[in-house]
Homo-oligomer: A and B are copies of this chain.
Amino acid sequence: MEIQNIIKEKIKTVNTQLEEYMKHPDLAQNSIFNAMNYSLFAGGKRLRPIIMLLVCDMLGGDEKEVLPFACALEMIHTYSLIHDDLPAMDNDDLRRGKPTNHKVFGEAAAILAGDALLNMAFEITSSINTENPKRALRAISVLSKASGALGMIGGQVIDIESENKAISHDMLLNLHSLKTGAIIRAAGVIGAVMSGAGEDEIKAVDSYCLNLGLAFQIRDDILDVTGNEETLGKPIGSDSENHKTTFVTLFGLEKSKKAVDEYTGKAISSLSVFKEKAKELTDLANYLTNRSV
């Protein structure tokens, strides 16, 4: 099957399960579910869940065991966007072409909706019905470490403190390996752990995700300069307007494009141990390298 069609199928699987998780009785606090749903179903690319589900396929894992974690990653990704967009943080009015959460529901509701999505990631993963509680516990540990102060949140702290400052290539790599990389790596590692992979297989998947994450981030920086505002759903040039150091401001467009190819190549070769089973993840890496959104 073509990777585009596989992606579409995985997105459908994830969205159906997310809708299932968001069902709730009629409650006095109904409004928070509206705010959570608004951002959770705002047209996210579901990249992280897709990676996790493709890792599961490659390793012959059981999708039912992996799906709660795939949905949890998307909840954590969504919460981080809601909080990042807040006036006290990046103060963004638009996200994926739509008004940001706090613009629609107000700041208090946006903060709480973010909190609730982060929290819900752990509700659904700890409620998993599994024969392997030890494996699930390890996966929750990977998930929480990736999203915490030593992972994604740490990256956001560095990002905020780096505004209007020139930062080094090393610090930029550190920032992105935490802010976006940690969760992308968790996608692969959890997919592998929950599929019963061995430690060497987990390491190979982790290396794939690490490099894929960097390629993805640099591609993002390039699109911020060269992209189409309408397709992208956010203003072009917002990075330089926010005085943010990016791969493009550090190295220019040409070198950045080369870096995307290099990291993509490294990602793909990390999977050599899986031979032809790595086809879908290889296709995904190539597909993301050439994306325009």
Cα–Cα, bound, A148→B136 (Å): 20
A137 at the interface (CB under 8 A from B): yes
Chain A residues 82 to 124 lying within 8 A of chain B, measured CB to CB, are 83, 86, 88-89, 106-109, 111-112, 114-116, 118-120, 122-123
Which chain B positions have C-beta within 8 A of A266? none
Given contacts A28-B174, A133-B133, contact A145 B123 (CB under 8 A): yes
Q: How far is the CA of A128 from the CA of B138 in the complex (A)?
A: 10
Q: How far is the CB of A50 from chain B (nearest CB, A)?
A: 23
> Which residues in B have their C-beta under 8 angstroms from that of A122?
122, 140, 143-144
Contact partner, A119, options B108, B138, B153, Cβ 8 Å = B153
Chain A at the B interface: SS class: helix
Interfacial chain B residues near A140, Cβ < 8 Å: 122, 126, 140
Does A31 have its Cβ within 8 Å of any Cβ on chain B?
yes
A138 to B143, CA, bound (A): 17
Chain B residues near A171 (CB-CB < 8 A): 28
Given contacts A116-B153, A153-B119, contact A107 B134 (CB under 8 A): no
Residues of B within 8 A of A24 (CB): 149-150
Asked if A149 meets B32 with Cβ closer than 8 Å, knowing A111-B111, A134-B133, A136-B137, the reply is yes
Do A137 and B126 touch across chains, with their CB atoms under 8 A apart?
yes
For A174, the chain B residues whose CB sits under 8 A away are 28
Contact of A148 among B119, B128, B148 (CB under 8 A): B119
Q: Are B119 and A149 in contact (CB under 8 A)?
A: yes
Contact, CB under 8 Å: A116 / B149: yes
10 nearest interchain CB pairs?
A88-B107, A29-B154, A126-B140, A133-B133, A126-B141, A29-B157, A122-B144, A119-B148, A116-B149, A133-B134
- Where the two chains meet, the residues of A that have a C-beta atom closer than 8 Å to any C-beta of B are 24, 27-29, 31-33, 36, 79, 83, 86, 88-89, 106-109, 111-112, 114-116, 118-120, 122-123, 126-128, 133-134, 136-138, 140-141, 143-145, 147-150, 153-158, 160-161, 171, 174-175, 178
22 CB contacts below 8 A, A to B, read A24-B149, A24-B150, A27-B154, A29-B155, A29-B178, A32-B153, A79-B115, A83-B112, A86-B111, A88-B107, A89-B111, A109-B157, A112-B153, A115-B153, A116-B153, A118-B119, A119-B144, A119-B153, A123-B141, A123-B148, A126-B137, A127-B141
